């Protein structure tokens, strides 16, 4: 006798909790044959504002952790990803990837997390400096986190792009609101489940799934958001983000990579990519009494 | 003040006039600087540039419209490839030459800056011009070292840069914009502010003298519309703007979809925090320099003063005494501390905000020691006490010699209130306790933190803000970033 399968409905991850969408709306996740294999919550504008508030409250604890600890937490996330590799591979296959390609993307995502984890306590030495000013002052410029980062990830590579954007923002000490499109929904939910058991403080990372276009304006124009990074938005949506962000002079970056470009470790783990998640602070102090 | 000095002041002794006598050679009319030469605007339109200390016209300036901006862009574009290909060492030598000529002409340029903008000669001579020359010297040396500037990344120039600068530090802002752009191999179309175009145009003369290749720098003068044409021109590959947050917002929208880098250095309402354990005399000087330097026409002015409650009364009293010593008047007098307000428009804005401050219930402290000149734009230094965080003078950028004084009880409160502003340009912290200074400096929402100091600037020190004070850095290694790809 055949058993009736229990179909999972993926939820949003906001402030360390797992709410369903405030609207109750979901979207189906189908396999290449068109069968519904799962459902995911479709984030509303209200959910996106809740996520920003959660990210704002979660920021302090993550930012003020030592860089060493942040690196450890991110490495723990890589360990947990490895443990759920089979499930992640299956999720990517629902999106249409072949078994080998899906597994390859999962492996690349785990390695990406490890590489980004290692930046936590090194990036300051690469991007910061001492300034030899023409006067009796100690003057130095230090990288600091921007604050709340909103990251729109592309449909593919669903997991690798999301890990790259979230991991890069995390490594600097930012808190994150990631928004994955429906095609990447299941991978995004699984990443949230991984991070939830990796000692990431509540609210330091928040993951939403749903229609990105609807969330461009409320997230781009939110005054608690410091940076918006788009990894897969259409040109029209990128313009809409910038128009919304202009009101509060928020930083807007568009990641130029598509498809296999996300696999390039040199580019994606470069300090010049991470720099987009950094604010520089220049400090002066008299050197003579 | 010692007793002796008090006695001297009481006896009514005062400084004798000490006018700066150097006079720059000002022409009656200036053209646009395009492709290495000065030319009239296509439309023939001109506007006046006024000495705000006398109300007199200094010169007529060509007003650039679309055809002129097109011509400047074409010149910048055609000069680009050769300038970009030139060996860094050679490009650097042009900048070194320019830096040297600026030093040689620095007195004339300082006087010109003071006449066109109203700032005291003491400041244009001792602050603006040395920094202008330093910016060119500093960046000249980068031109041959760019391959080592960014770890693992070979860099190339971006192309034509559209740069729009304000009226508060006209020549210095031109230097901040031009020097890194040129060192990195870009060419430029620069738009100076309409009230202060003269020093940029005299800089163009020096560029001719040092044989800078035509088209590498082009200067188009005019009003906001000219700036908009520069920023939105299809030839531009990088836009840099220093000015108000309002205009920055518009530029961010108008350049949406272009996907070229934009850097914005905008307004501020920067906090200056004085703890009871600070060296009080030094803190007073820092607060004075923080708000009354350049008539308060400073984006990073320390316009919100937070004093620890236990010393509030003595600090305010010392500040009032110190404010009385400031000499307001002829900007060309070497003893003048506070010169002329840059324009009628700015004067009216300051007056209106100060009126609002009084109407909302803050207490105005001002001095009117000497009668101000009858002609020209003047506003004596002043400060408000009894300021509530909700008051307009505690929230809005005044861009004038007006300070808002508030108090706090704990470091936490100081941090919270200092950060409670949409701006985030600079912050000052005064305390002799090292651990406190590091803790507070790291928690300031600001791009620059001056510890036991204020308003220090250097070509090697990255400058720029967070939040609504803009993004991107100017100066130092970090300032090169936006000019390379």
What's the pLDDT tens digit per position in B391-449? 999 999 999 999 999 999 999 999 999 999 999 999 999 999 999 999 999 999 999 99
Do B48 and B100 belong together in one domain?
A: yes
What is the Cα A22 distance to its own chain's centre? 21
Predicted local confidence at residue A7, as pLDDT: 87
The token duo for A4 is 């009736």
Do B243 and B386 belong together in one domain?
A: no
Rounded mean pLDDT, B357-382: 91
Judged by CB atoms closer than 8 Å, whether chains meet at B264 and A249 is answered as yes
Do B180 and B308 belong together in one domain?
A: no
Predicted local confidence at residue A1, as pLDDT: 67
B150: nearest CB among A134, A223, A272: A272
Q: How far is CA A218 from CA A10, A213, A228, B53, B309, in A?
A: 23, 10, 12, 48, 41
Dist CA A165 CA A231 (whole Å): 8
Query: Does residue B12 form part of some domain?
Result: no
Cis upstream peptide for A157 (omega within 30°): yes
Residue B369 has pLDDT above 80, yes or no: no
User: Largest Cα–Cα distance in chain A?
Assistant: 87
Do B258 and B130 belong together in one domain?
A: yes
Share of chain B above pLDDT 90, in %: 94
Q: Cβ(B471)–Cβ(A248) under 8 Å? A: no
**For chain B, how far is it from start to end, CA to CA, in angstroms?**
55
Residue of B nearest to A246 (CA): B249
Q: Cβ(B33)–Cβ(B68) under 8 Å? A: no
Which residue from B435, B405, B410 is spatially nearest to B316, judged by alpha carbons?
Answer: B405
Do B58 and B117 belong together in one domain?
A: yes
Query: Does residue B11 form part of some domain?
Result: no
The token duo for B9 is 């002041």
Query: Does residue B370 form part of some domain?
Result: yes
Each residue's pLDDT, cut to its tens digit, for chain A (289 residues) gives 689 988 899 999 999 999 999 999 999 999 999 999 999 999 999 999 999 999 999 999 999 999 999 999 999 999 999 999 999 999 999 988 999 999 999 999 999 999 999 999 999 999 999 999 999 999 999 999 999 999 999 999 999 999 999 999 999 999 999 999 999 999 999 999 999 999 999 999 999 999 999 999 999 999 999 999 999 899 999 999 999 999 999 999 999 999 999 999 999 999 999 999 999 999 999 997 5
Distance from CA of B452 to the nearest CA of A (A): 6
Residue B127 has pLDDT above 70, yes or no: yes
The token duo for B111 is 């006087």
Q: Cβ(A277)–Cβ(A227) under 8 Å? A: yes
Distance from CA of B460 to the nearest CA of A (A): 6
Query: Does residue B33 form part of some domain?
Result: yes
Show residues of chain B in contact with A238, CB under 8 Å: 257, 259
**Structure confidence by residue, pLDDT tens digits, B30-44:** 999 999 999 999 999
Do B60 and B144 belong together in one domain?
A: yes
Query: Domain range for residue B165?
Result: 29-266+468-483
Do B475 and B431 belong together in one domain?
A: no
Give the residue numbers of B marked as catalytic.
265, 299
Q: Cβ(A226)–Cβ(A149) under 8 Å? A: yes
Predicted local confidence at residue A2, as pLDDT: 86
Residue B11 has pLDDT above 70, yes or no: no
In this predicted complex, what is the ipTM? 0.95
Query: Does residue B15 form part of some domain?
Result: no
Query: Does residue B6 form part of some domain?
Result: no
Check which CATH number belongs to the domain holding B228 and give it: 3.40.605.10
Show residues of chain A in contact with B467, CB under 8 Å: 226, 248-249
Number of structural domains (chain B) is: 2
Check which CATH number belongs to the domain holding B442 and give it: 3.40.309.10
Query: Does residue B412 form part of some domain?
Result: yes
What structural domains and CATH numbers belong to chain A?
12-286 (3.40.605.10)
Residue of A nearest to B259 (CA): A254
Predicted local confidence at residue A289, as pLDDT: 54
Do B250 and B287 belong together in one domain?
A: no
Do B328 and B234 belong together in one domain?
A: no
Query: Does residue B3 form part of some domain?
Result: no
Show residues of chain B in contact with A285, CB under 8 Å: 437, 451-453
Do B188 and B225 belong together in one domain?
A: yes
Judged by CB atoms closer than 8 Å, whether chains meet at A284 and B448 is answered as yes
Predicted local confidence at residue B12, as pLDDT: 57
Do B47 and B144 belong together in one domain?
A: yes
Do B85 and B101 belong together in one domain?
A: yes
User: Largest Cα–Cα distance in chain B?
Assistant: 68
């Amino acid at each position: 006798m055949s058993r009736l399968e229990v179909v999972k409905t993926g939820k949003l991850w906001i402030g360390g909790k797992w709410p369903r969408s405030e609207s109750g709306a979901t979207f189906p996740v189908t396999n290449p044959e068109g069968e519904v294999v799962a459902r995911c919550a479709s984030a509303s504008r209200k959910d996106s504002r809740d996520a920003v508030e959660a990210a704002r409250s979660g920021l302090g604890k993550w930012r003020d952790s030592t860089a060493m600890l942040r690196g450890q937490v991110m490495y723990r996330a890589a360990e947990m990803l490895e443990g759920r590799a089979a499930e992640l591979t299956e999720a990517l296959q629902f999106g249409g990837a072949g078994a080998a390609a899906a597994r390859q993307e999962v492996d690349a995502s785990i390695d990406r997390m490890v590489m980004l984890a290692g930046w936590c306590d090194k990036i300051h030495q690469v991007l910061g400096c001492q300034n030899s000013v023409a006067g009796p002052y100690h003057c130095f410029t230090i990288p600091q986190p921007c604050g709340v980062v909103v990251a729109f990830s592309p449909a593919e590579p669903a997991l690798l792009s999301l890990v790259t954007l979230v991991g890069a923002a995390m490594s600097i000490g930012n808190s994150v609101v990631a928004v994955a499109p429906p095609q990447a929904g299941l991978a995004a939910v699984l990443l949230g489940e991984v991070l939830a058991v990796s000692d990431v403080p509540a609210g330091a990372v928040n993951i939403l799934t749903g229609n990105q276009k609807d969330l461009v304006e409320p997230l781009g124009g939110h005054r608690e958001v410091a940076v918006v990074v788009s990894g897969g938005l259409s040109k029209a949506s990128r313009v809409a983000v910038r128009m919304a962000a202009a009101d509060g002079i928020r930083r807007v970056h568009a990641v130029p990579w598509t498809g296999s470009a996300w696999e390039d470790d040199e580019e994606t783990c470069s300090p010049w990519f991470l720099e987009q998640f950094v604010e520089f602070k220049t400090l002066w102090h008299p050197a003579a009494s | 003040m010692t007793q002796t000095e008090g006695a001297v002041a009481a006896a009514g002794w005062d400084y004798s006039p000490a006018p700066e006598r150097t006079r720059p050679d000002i022409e009656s009319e200036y053209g646009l600087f395009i492709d290495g030469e000065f030319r009239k605007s296509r439309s023939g339109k001109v506007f006046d540039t006024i000495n705000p200390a006398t109300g007199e016209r200094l010169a007529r300036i060509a007003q650039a419209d679309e055809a002129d901006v097109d011509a400047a862009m074409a010149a910048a574009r055609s000069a680009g490839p050769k300038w970009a290909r030139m060996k860094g060492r050679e490009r650097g030598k042009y900048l070194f030459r320019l830096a040297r000529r600026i030093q040689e002409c620095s007195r004339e340029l300082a006087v010109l800056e003071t006449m066109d903008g109203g700032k005291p000669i003491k400041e244009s001579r001792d602050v603006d011009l040395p920094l202008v020359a330093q910016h060119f010297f500093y960046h000249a040396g980068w031109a041959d070292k760019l391959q080592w500037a960014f770890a693992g990344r070979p860099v190339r120039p971006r192309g034509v840069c559209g740069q729009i600068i304000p009226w508060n530090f006209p020549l210095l802002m031109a230097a901040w914009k031009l020097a890194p752009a040129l060192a990195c191999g870009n060419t430029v179309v620069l738009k100076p502010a309409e009230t202060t175009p003269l020093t940029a145009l005299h800089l163009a003369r020096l560029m001719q003298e040092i044989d800078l290749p035509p088209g590498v720098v082009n200067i188009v003068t005019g009003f906001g519309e000219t700036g908009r044409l520069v920023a939105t021109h299809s030839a531009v590959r990088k836009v840099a703007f220093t000015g108000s947050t309002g205009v920055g917002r518009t530029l961010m929208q108008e350049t949406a979809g272009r996907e070229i880098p934009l850097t914005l250095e905008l307004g501020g309402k920067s906090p200056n925090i004085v703890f009871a354990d600070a060296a009080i005399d030094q803190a007073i000087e820092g607060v004075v320099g923080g708000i009354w330097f350049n008539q308060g026409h400073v984006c990073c002015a320390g316009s919100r003063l937070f004093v620890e409650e236990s010393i509030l009364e003595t600090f305010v009293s010392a500040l009032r005494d110190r404010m009385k010593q400031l000499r307001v008047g002829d900007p060309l007098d070497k003893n003048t501390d506070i010169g002329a307000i840059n324009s009628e428009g700015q004067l009216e804005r300051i007056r209106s905000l100060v009126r609002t401050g009084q109407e909302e219930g803050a207490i105005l402290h001002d001095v009117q020691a000497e009668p101000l000149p009858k002609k020209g734009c003047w506003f004596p230094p002043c400060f408000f006490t009894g300021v509530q965080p909700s008051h307009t003078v505690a929230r809005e950028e005044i861009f004038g010699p007006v300070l808002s004084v508030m108090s706090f009880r704990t470091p936490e409160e100081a941090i919270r209130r200092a950060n409670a502003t949409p701006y985030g340009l600079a912050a000052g912290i005064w305390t002799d306790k090292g651990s406190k200074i590091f803790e507070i400096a790291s928690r300031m929402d600001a791009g620059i933190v001056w510890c036991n100091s204020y308003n220090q600037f250097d070509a090697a020190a990255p400058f720029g803000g967070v939040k609504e004070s803009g993004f991107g850095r100017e100066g130092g290694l970090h300032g090169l970033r936006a000019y390379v790809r």
